[in-house]
Each structure stands twice: as C-alpha cells, then as structure tokens.
Amino acid sequence: MKVALVYTSTTPELIDWVEREVRDRLGQNIELMSYEDPSILSETRSAGYVTKNAAAKLVAMYMQAVQEGADAILNLCSSVGEVADAVQNIAKYIGVPIVRVDEEMCLEAVRQGKRIGVMATLSTTLEPTKNTIRRVAREIDKEVTLVDALIEGAFGLDQEAFKTLMLSKAAEIEKDVDVILFAQGSMAYCEEVVHDACGKPVLSSPRFGAAALKDALVKKGLI
C-alpha cells in the first residue's frame, strides 16, 4: 500500500511523530509518499485565510499523489483542512480517500467535554479548527463552548522554549475547560507534559489522523 502524507509545512518533530503513528497503525512496510509546499501556509498566514491560489496548490498535490499511485491521502495541515473537506466528492469518485489529520481528534474532544480549550500558534489554524469542532458537535447534536488559547510568538521556537509557552498558556485556561485540544500536529510532543501539568485530557492530531487513515483503508478493503 501507498499512503501520501501532504504537508504545507514541516518540522522534524512533526515528520517523526506522523510517520511513527502511521507505521504503528499500518505496519512498518507501508510505503509513505511525502509532499510539501510551504508556500501554501505562508500565503495563508499572510492573507489570513486560504486563498484560491493556496487551495489550488494543495489540490494539485492531492492529484499528484493520486497520479503517483497513492491508495489514501492524509492531509496534515489544519489551516487548510477545509480544502480537504471541499474535495471529498472527487476523492470518493476517484476512490482515493483524503483524510484530515484533525477531524477525529475534534470529534473526540466533543465527546469528552463541553468546554474545549483550543491551543494554536497561528490564528489561521485556530479558526478552521474551531469551525471543525463546531461542525462535528452539531453533527452529534451537542453544544460546546470553545476557549481560545492562541500562543503568540511560539511558531518556530525550539522545543524547550515552546514547551514553556505551552505550559504557561495551558495554565491560563485549565480551570475553564474540560479538555484541551492542540490545533497543530507539530505540538504533539507537548501532549504528555501539558496533561501532567494541568490534569486535563489533552488531544493532539497525529494519532487520531493515523487511526482515521487506517479506517479509510479498511473501508477500501486494503487492510
């Protein structure tokens, strides 16, 4: 089997975490095909929303993966997750599922609590993630309250400095939330330390995305 991992930006931590989670779910022999275009995230950040040019570039990467034999695609950027939503009909038509890394995580957060803290370093990731949480909450007929936890100046920091800011922001919101959700997959390595510090459930997307990817391949009959 071939699985395409589609990024708009990467860090070594994110790549390692995603590939480990996918291989743990699908086996060590799975063929991983990686695609990245950092200009998509850069343009989205500059504009404050996903521009038509950025969306077109992302869809082009999906189609490249299809042409190169991918059996399924994992979209790894929450800032552009709504583009993945928009192309689901074509994904069904061509028989190559496009799985969002964060959708199942958002659903699990809604299952676990009514007050959800959403941590992000970019507003362009925070808002689409909140939209997804509201959508999945509506789909299961549950009302939720979202608590923003935007960490200014954290994007691109080294791990230790990043953890310090994450812990500080988590401490600000922990009394107001039932569960904390990380809007960016690159935050995953902070999951355990934030949970230990605040004692609340903490969710990050790579493990949920890998599980959803496996489910999509099971539905295709490939597993």
CATH architecture classification, 2-101+207-219: 3-Layer(aba) Sandwich (3.40)
Q: One-letter amino acid identity for 17? A: W
Residue 154's pLDDT band (cuts 50, 70, 90): confident
Residue 157's pLDDT band (cuts 50, 70, 90): confident
Helix (H, G, I), strand (E, B) or coil at 31: strand
Report, as an integer, the average pLDDT of 28-41.
96
pLDDT of 209 reads 97
pLDDT of 127 reads 93
Token pair of 13, please?
């931590």
Give pTM, 2 decimals: 0.92
Q: How many Å separate Cα 16 from the centre of its chain?
A: 15
Residue 10's pLDDT band (cuts 50, 70, 90): confident
Question: What percentage of the chain carries pLDDT values higher than 90?
Answer: 89
User: 41-78: per-residue pLDDT in tens?
Assistant: 999 999 999 999 999 999 999 999 999 999 999 999 99
Cβ contacts of residue 161 below 8 Å, gap of 6+?
none
Cβ contacts of residue 180 below 8 Å, gap of 6+?
116, 117, 119, 149, 170, 173, 174, 194, 198, 200, 201, 202, 203
Torsion (CA) 83, 88, 93, 97 in degrees, nearest 10: 100
Token pair of 49, please?
């929303």
Whole-number Å distance between alpha carbons of 208 and 51: 27
Give the number of residues written for the chain.
Answer: 223
pLDDT of 11 reads 80
pLDDT of 108 reads 98
The domain locations on the chain are: 2-101+207-219, 103-204
| 23-27, 119-123, 207-211, range with the lowest pLDDT | 119-123
Considering only CA atoms, give the Rg of the chain: 17
Determine phi and psi for 2, rounding to 5 degrees. Answer: -120, 130
Whole-number Å distance between alpha carbons of 186 and 47: 22
The reply to whether 103-204 shares the fold of 2-101+207-219 is yes
Token pair of 119, please?
């941590």
pLDDT at 152 over 90: no
Token pair of 188, please?
């995953």
Determine phi and psi for 163, rounding to 5 degrees. Answer: -60, -40
CATH class (in words) of the domain with range 103-204? alpha beta
